[in-house]
Chains A and B, each alone.
Chain A
C-alpha cells in the first residue's frame, strides 16, 4: 500500500493535494466530498468588507485565463462567525488566506484570524489585484522580510507565504520570507497580464490588468518552485497551471512537498479527487511507497554546474 501522507511542518495532510486560494469554497461540497482533500484553503479575506473589482472579472486566453476578481470580502468578523464553523465538520486542515494593504494591518488580521479551527494561515503577499498598479509585498525581498517579520510576531500558527511570479528576485524573496519567519512557501500566485478585445479596442478585463492562471503559467511556477526549493529549507507548496497527475509529479520532482490546484477546478470541478486517485495509481504502478520519495528527486546533477538563476546585472 502506498503512502500519500504529507507533512508541511507539523501539519499532517492525508495527501499532498489541496485547492488554491480563490478557486475553492464550501459551494464545492455540492459536487464532491471535500474531506478527500489534503487541506482546505479559503479565498483571501481582508479585515474590512470589500466589493471587488469591476466586471468583466475574468477572460480567457488560449488555453488559460486572466482574472481580476479583486478580493471581494465579507470581512473577517463575518468569516470567523459564519465560514470557519462550516469547515469544522471536515477532518482536512483549514488554511485561511489573508491579505491587507500594509504590514501593520496585515499583522492585525493575522492575530485576529488565529482562532481554533484554523490550522495554518496563508499570507497573500502577492495578489496582483488588490493594490494599486499590481504592487505586492512579495515583489521585493525587503518588503517581504518586513511584512513576514510582523506577521511572525502576530501569531503562533504556521505561516505560508504565497509568492509572486511578478518579480525578478525569486530566490531573494524566498529567502527573505524564510528569514522573516515563514513556515512554508506557496509558489506561486498569478502572473500580471493583459488582453484586449480587438473589436471594441477595450481591455478584456474591467480592471485593465489581471493575473494569468492555467496551463500556460505552469512552466514559470515550476521554475520558481525549483529555484525556491534550492534556496530555502522550509517546504514548498507548488501552485500554477496543474491540471494532470503528470503536472503534480513534475512539481514534486522540482522540490514541492505538496501542490495546490486552482483554475483546473473551474474546468472540471471534480478534478482534485480524480488527481488524488491518479497520484495513488501512479505510485502503485511505479512501486514508490511514499509520495515523499518524489520530492526534489529531479536528476539535475549533470546540469548543476551550468545552472544560472537568472540574475540582474549590476
Chain B
C-alpha cells in the first residue's frame, strides 16, 4: 500500500538520499587532554561520503538526568569510509555534550548527515593557511587531509589557552604542515602577534587562501588581511540549530553580499561561507 521508501527500516538505503539518518556504534570515546574528548563511531559507508567542513546532527542519548530534546550539530573531525569510521572532537559544555561524554563502546548513536556545504580548495591555490583555536581546529582537520591529498602546501596556526590543550598539532605535522603554535600562557596568541605571523607568511609567498572556524576575532583579522592582500578565504560558522536540514529557519546569520545584506541558513547554505561575506557578531 504505502510506496514509501523507508530509511528507518533499513530498506532502500541504496536509493541513496544525500542526507541519511543512521544508527552508528561507538568504538571509543576517550578524553584526549584536560578539555577535549574524541568520539569514534562505526558508521555505514553510505553516510561517509563527506566533504571537509560538513557536519552531522547527533541525537544525544537520553539515559542520564540530562534530557537534550533537539539534536546537536557537530562538525566532522574525520571520516574514513574504508575503516567505516566517523570521528568527532568535542568539549563538554552543556547538556548535549555531557550525554555524549557518557557514551561507552558498543553504545548506539543516531546521527543525521552529512549536512551542509563544506570548504572549497581552488585549483590555483597552492599554499593554504589554516587558523583556528581550540576545538575549532577539529573542523579544519578534514580540510588539511584533503589538502594533503591534493598535494597542496599547508601552514597551520594553532591557538589555545595553554600548550597542554593545543589541539591537532601532531595531526597537522603528520600531514607535512608547517605548524605554528600560539598560546595565552606564552602571551603569543594575541591578534597583533597572529597578524604579524600571517603577514610574514604572506611575504614569504605561503598564503594563497585562508581558512578559519567559528571565531569572531579571527574572522575580523582575516577579513582585514584578505582585503589588504587580496587573498580570499572561507570560514566555518556555528549557530544554534533545530532541524539541521533547512526547514526551520532557526540558524540564520547575516551576510554582506553584492546586492546587500542577506540572511543565510548556517545548516544549508553553510556552515562554510566566504570570509569576505561573513559578518562579525
Given contacts A36-B2, A55-B253, A72-B249, 19 further A-B contacts (CB under 8 A): A1-B1, A22-B247, A25-B246, A30-B245, A32-B4, A32-B7, A36-B3, A55-B239, A57-B250, A58-B250, A65-B242, A67-B250, A214-B69, A265-B247, A267-B70, A268-B21, A271-B8, A273-B8, A276-B4
A5 to chain B, nearest CB (A): 10
Q: Which residues does chain B contribute within 8 Å of A15, judged by CB atoms? A: 2
- CA distance in complex: A56, B241 (Å): 9
Provide a sorted-by-A list of 23 A–B residue pairs whose CB atoms are within 8 angstroms: A23-B248, A25-B246, A30-B17, A30-B19, A31-B7, A31-B17, A32-B4, A33-B3, A52-B252, A58-B248, A61-B69, A62-B69, A65-B70, A67-B248, A67-B250, A69-B248, A265-B243, A266-B243, A267-B69, A267-B70, A273-B8, A274-B8, A274-B9
Q: Which among B5, B240, B246, B247 is the interface contact of A32 at CB below 8 angstroms?
A: B5
Interface residues of A in 29-52 (CB under 8 A from B): 30-33, 35-36, 43, 51-52
A172 interface contact, C-beta 8 A: no
Q: Provide the A13-30 mask, 1 if CB < 8 A to any CB of B, else 0.
A: 001000000111101101
Contact call A266/B242, Cβ cutoff below 8 A? yes
Q: Which residues does chain B contribute within 8 Å of A32, judged by CB atoms? A: 4-5, 7, 17
Contact call B247/A28, Cβ cutoff below 8 A? yes
Contact call A58/B240, Cβ cutoff below 8 A? yes
Q: Which residues does chain B contribute within 8 Å of A4, judged by CB atoms? A: 1-2
Contact call B4/A30, Cβ cutoff below 8 A? no
Contact call B243/A31, Cβ cutoff below 8 A? no
What's the interface size class on B, roughly? 35 or more
Q: Which among A23, A52, A266 is the interface contact of B263 at CB below 8 angstroms?
A: A52
Contact call A2/B247, Cβ cutoff below 8 A? no
A129 to chain B, nearest CB (A): 11
What's the interface size class on A, roughly? 35 or more
Q: Which residues does chain A contribute within 8 Å of B117, judged by CB atoms? A: none
B20 closest partner in A (C-beta): A31
Q: Which residues does chain A contribute within 8 Å of B71, judged by CB atoms? A: 266-267
A63 interface contact, C-beta 8 A: yes
- CA distance in complex: A128, B241 (Å): 20
Q: Which residues does chain B contribute within 8 Å of A134, judged by CB atoms? A: none
A179 interface contact, C-beta 8 A: no
Interface residues of B in 222-252 (CB under 8 A from A): 239-252
A280 interface contact, C-beta 8 A: yes
A203 interface contact, C-beta 8 A: no
Which DSSP category, helix, strand, loop or mixed, fits chain B's interface?
A: loop
Which B residues form the contact surface with A (CB < 8 A)? 1-9, 17-21, 59, 67-71, 112, 239-253, 263, 268
Q: Which residues does chain A contribute within 8 Å of B112, judged by CB atoms? A: 269
Q: Which residues does chain B contribute within 8 Å of A156, judged by CB atoms? A: none
Q: Which among A27, A30, A36, A64 is the interface contact of B69 at CB below 8 angstroms?
A: A64
A298 interface contact, C-beta 8 A: no
Q: Which among B1, B17, B68 is the interface contact of A60 at CB below 8 angstroms?
A: B68
- CA distance in complex: A15, B1 (Å): 10
Q: Which residues does chain A contribute within 8 Å of B17, judged by CB atoms? A: 30-32
- CA distance in complex: A269, B240 (Å): 18
Q: Which residues does chain A contribute within 8 Å of B4, judged by CB atoms? A: 32-33, 36, 273, 276-277
- CA distance in complex: A214, B68 (Å): 13
Q: Which residues does chain B contribute within 8 Å of A51, judged by CB atoms? A: 263
A270 interface contact, C-beta 8 A: yes
Given contacts A28-B247, A58-B70, A58-B248, are A269 and B21 in contact (CB under 8 A)? Answer: yes
